[in-house]
Chains A and B, each alone.
Chain A
Amino acid sequence: MVFRHKHIIALRDLNKEEIELLLSTAESMREINGRDIKKVPTLRGKTIINLFYESSTRTRTSFEIAGKRLSADTVNIAPSNSSATKGETLADTALNLLAMKPDIIVMRHAVSGSHYFLANKVNCSIINAGDGAHEHPSQGLLDMLTIKDKFGRLDGLKVAIVGDITHSRVARSDIQGLTKMGSQIFVAGPPTMVPPGVEKLGNVVACGTMKEAIQDADVIIMLRIQQERQGKTLMPNTREYSRYFGLNPVNLKLAKPDALVMHPGPINRGVEMSSYVVDGPQSHILKQVENGVAVRMAMLYHVCGGGSVE
Chain B
Amino acid sequence: MSQVETLILDQPGINRALTRIAHEILERNKGTDNLVLVGIRTGGDHLARLLRDKIQEIEGKSLPLGIVDVTMYRDDLDSRGPRPVGMTDIAFSLTGEKVILVDEVLFTGRTIRAALDALMDFGRPRNIQLAVLIDRGHRELPIRADYVGRNLPTARDEKILVTFDAAHLPIEVRLVKP
Point out residues on A near B: beta carbons under 8 Å.
1-3, 21, 24-25, 27-29, 31-32, 35-37, 39-43, 70, 298, 301-302, 304-307
Q: Does B45 contact A (CB under 8 A)?
A: no
Cβ-defined partner of B122 (8 Å) among A28, A35, A301:
A35
The reply to whether B84 and A42 contact each other, CB–CB distance below 8 Å, is no
Does A31 lie within 8 Å of B81, measured CB to CB? no
User: If the complex has contacts A28-B86, A28-B87, are A305 and B121 also in contact, measured as CB distance less than 8 A?
Assistant: no
Q: Can you list 10 A-B pairs with a CB-CB distance of less than 8 A?
A: A2-B82, A24-B84, A25-B84, A27-B87, A31-B88, A31-B89, A37-B121, A39-B121, A40-B118, A307-B81
Q: How far is the CA of A305 from the CA of B81 in the complex (A)?
A: 5
On whether the beta carbons of B88 and A41 are closer than 8 Å, the reply is no
Given contacts A298-B85, A302-B82, A305-B79, 13 further A-B contacts (CB under 8 A): A2-B83, A24-B85, A25-B85, A28-B88, A31-B88, A32-B72, A36-B122, A37-B121, A37-B122, A39-B121, A40-B121, A304-B82, A307-B81
Q: Which residues of A contact B86 (CB under 8 A)?
A: 28
In the complex the two chains form, is B82's CB within 8 Å of A301's CB?
yes
Contact with A along B76-120 (1 / 0, CB 8 A): 011111111111110000000000000000000000000001100
Q: How far is the CA of A305 from the CA of B75 in the complex (A)?
A: 12
Min distance, Cβ A149 to any Cβ of chain B, angstroms: 14
Q: Count the A-B residue pairs with Cβ separation under 8 angstroms: how many?
A: 57
Known: A301-B82, A305-B82. A31 touches B87 (CB 8 A): yes
Q: Is the CB of A35 within 8 A of B121?
A: yes
Binding site secondary structure of chain B: loop
Instruction: State whether A305 and B85 are in contact (beta carbons under 8 Å apart), knowing that A35-B121, A41-B73, A42-B72 are contacts in the complex.
Output: no
Q: Closest residue of chain B to A28, judged by CB? A: B85
* Bound-state Cα–Cα, A159 to B77, Å: 37
Q: Give A153 to B88 CA distance when docked, in angstroms.
A: 22
A70 to B81 Cα, complex, angstroms? 15
Beta-carbon contact of A304 and B77 below 8 Å: yes
Chain A residues within an 8 Å CB radius of B135: none
Bound complex: CA A152 to CA B88 (Å):
20
The chain B residue with its CB closest to the CB of A300 is B82
B87, B89, B117 — most chain A CB neighbours (10 Å): B87
Question: For the complex, what is the distance from the CA of A299 to the CA of B79, rounded to whole Å?
Answer: 19
- Is B88 in contact with A3, judged by CB distance below 8 angstroms? no
Identity of the chain A residue whose Cβ is nearest the Cβ of B89 in the assembled complex: A31
A21 to B85, CA, bound (A): 9
- Could you tell me the distance between the alpha carbons of A298 and B84 in the complex, rounded to whole angstroms? 10
CA distance A70 to B73 in the complex (A): 10
- Nearest first, the 10 closest Cβ-Cβ pairs linking A and B are A40-B72, A28-B85, A42-B72, A37-B121, A305-B77, A305-B78, A306-B81, A25-B85, A28-B87, A302-B82
